[in-house]
Structure 1
Amino acid sequence: MSIVTQQTVQMKQVSRGNYLMRNVLKHNVVFNEGTKGDAAYILTEGKIEISGIIEGHKKVFAILKPISIFGEMALFLDEGMRTATAIALEDSKVIVVTKDDLEEFMRQSPKVIASIITVLVSRLKTTTKKAMKVPSTGLGIVRIFDLFSTCGRLELKYSPTVKTMADTFVTTTDKIEQYIFGLADQGLLSIGRDNNDTRIIRIRERDMLNAVMQKKE
């Protein structure tokens, strides 16, 4: 199938900020598996197919309809390699969301903070472990905590956070807890309880990503 790559770009007001809007014609590629990713996309009109190559054969992971977010793992992982291909099945419109855009939107809309990881989970649950394996679980966890701290969210409920991250990174809760306790041992996090005696994770280092990188040097 011949894929046309030309896209029409315009600016559109979304919420209280300006975000890049792309018109994607039917059969156009939004991004290809194995390419470098630096943005996520929100589908507002049309239909997008998410697929990948498994053992030499194409496998369709999901058919997205509005409103859906895709390509979001690029916002959390430094490796940023696309683990799937996104193609428009019909004329579509997508909002381009960079990491800076997401942080701004989260500051403006606190509900997004609670929903963004849930979006990651629902996406990854529709794929196979092999197709959507994460290059660096530890770094991914750090980047998620870093994003929350940047947006001023310094306390997270322990159990749902651990379970959600385990689902997102296709691993066990024990493995996630090992990373979290490791960060706590470094003084970047603390584990405690809130006023309702609910177990929580407190982010102690606001610039967590930079702090972790410095400790590695």
Structure 2
Amino acid sequence: MTIVSQQALQMKQVSRGNYLMRNALKHNVIFNEGSKGDAAYILTEGKIEISGVIEGHKKVFAILTPISIFGEMALFLDDGVRTATAIALEDSKVIVVTKDDLEEFMRESPKVIASIITVLVSRLKTTTRKALKVPSIGLGVVRILDLFSTCGKMELKYDATVKTLSDTFLTTPEKIEQYLLGLADQGLLAVGRDQNDIRIIRIRERDMLNAVMQNKF
């Protein structure tokens, strides 16, 4: 997410009282690896260390400074646990962001979705495969597509979408295409070409997540 977008998010939502601003003193743990994830955080002041345990040893994945979003995978995946630990390296302030908070903001400002996905891809590329284990890649794909449809973005470029999703979930483009074909078979999306003969994905179902869960995808 760009600094401008995150500042807009912070100022708009905090001023309306929708977000909880949390103080984290130096050495405070924001969340632990293995704990249940139910919110993301926006760092507005201070410094946060993101780390995990790899083969019995601590591995630092990132040192975050304002303005940064972290813990964001909790907003996209069901039944997931935290894949890293977040600790304040100095006195810090963070905004607690629930999935409902994020979706409400994006309904009002659909353009922010592209920035959110950029953050996801950038963050995930810098961590290890172990730290990126998710309960279901298929469900993760559905959640991201559902986020697009919720914001009214019903048409996506095929090649770019496949590449972004494969990079995000550290899997092959072929595997992502299998999931997309499964959704197409259910009639939830269609693959075609636009007026410029560019291959695209058309999302047919605005409440894709609910539709997929009903079909037990």
Moved more, 15-24 or 77-86: 15-24
| Counterpart residue number, 1:178 | 178
Please tell me whether the aligned partners of residues 166 and 172 of structure 2 are also in contact (alpha carbons under 8 angstroms).
Answer: yes
Looking at structure 1, the residues matched to 157 and 10 of structure 2 have their Cα atoms a distance apart, in angstroms, of: 33
| Secondary structure of the corresponding residue to residue 19 of structure 2 | strand
| Counterpart residue number, 1:66 | 66
How large is the Cα RMSD of the aligned pairs? 1.6
> How far did 1:27 drift?
0.5
Please tell me whether the aligned partners of residues 110 and 152 of structure 2 are also in contact (alpha carbons under 8 angstroms).
Answer: no
> How far did 1:140 drift?
0.5
Letter in 1 for 2:137: T
Which consecutive residues of structure 1, in runs of 5 or more, have no partner in the other structure? Answer: 1-11
> How far did 1:195 drift?
3.0
Higher helix share: 2
| Counterpart residue number, 2:137 | 137
Looking at structure 2, the residues matched to 29 and 194 of structure 1 have their Cα atoms a distance apart, in angstroms, of: 48
The runs of at least 4 aligned residues of structure 1 exceeding 3 Å deviation read: none
* 1:84-99 alignment runs, 5 A limit: 84-99=84-99
* TM-score, with length taken from structure 2: 0.90
Please tell me whether the aligned partners of residues 25 and 88 of structure 1 are also in contact (alpha carbons under 8 angstroms).
Answer: yes
Please tell me whether the aligned partners of residues 133 and 170 of structure 1 are also in contact (alpha carbons under 8 angstroms).
Answer: no
| Secondary structure of the corresponding residue to residue 94 of structure 2 | strand
* TM-score, with length taken from structure 1: 0.90
* Aligned equivalent of 1:14, options 3, 11, 15: 11
Please tell me whether the aligned partners of residues 61 and 126 of structure 2 are also in contact (alpha carbons under 8 angstroms).
Answer: yes
Which consecutive residues of structure 2, in runs of 5 or more, have no partner in the other structure? Answer: 1-8
| Counterpart residue number, 1:43 | 43
| Counterpart residue number, 1:3 | none
| Counterpart residue number, 1:127 | 127
> How far did 1:13 drift?
6.3
- Which structure has the higher relative contact order (CA within 8 Å, separation 6+)? 2
Higher strand share: 1
Q: Deviations over 1:125-169 (max 9, x none)?
A: 111112222221001011111122122221111111111111110
| Counterpart residue number, 1:166 | 166
Looking at structure 2, the residues matched to 158 and 61 of structure 1 have their Cα atoms a distance apart, in angstroms, of: 31
| Secondary structure of the corresponding residue to residue 73 of structure 2 | helix
Please tell me whether the aligned partners of residues 41 and 72 of structure 2 are also in contact (alpha carbons under 8 angstroms).
Answer: yes
| Counterpart residue number, 2:5 | none
Please tell me whether the aligned partners of residues 110 and 151 of structure 2 are also in contact (alpha carbons under 8 angstroms).
Answer: no
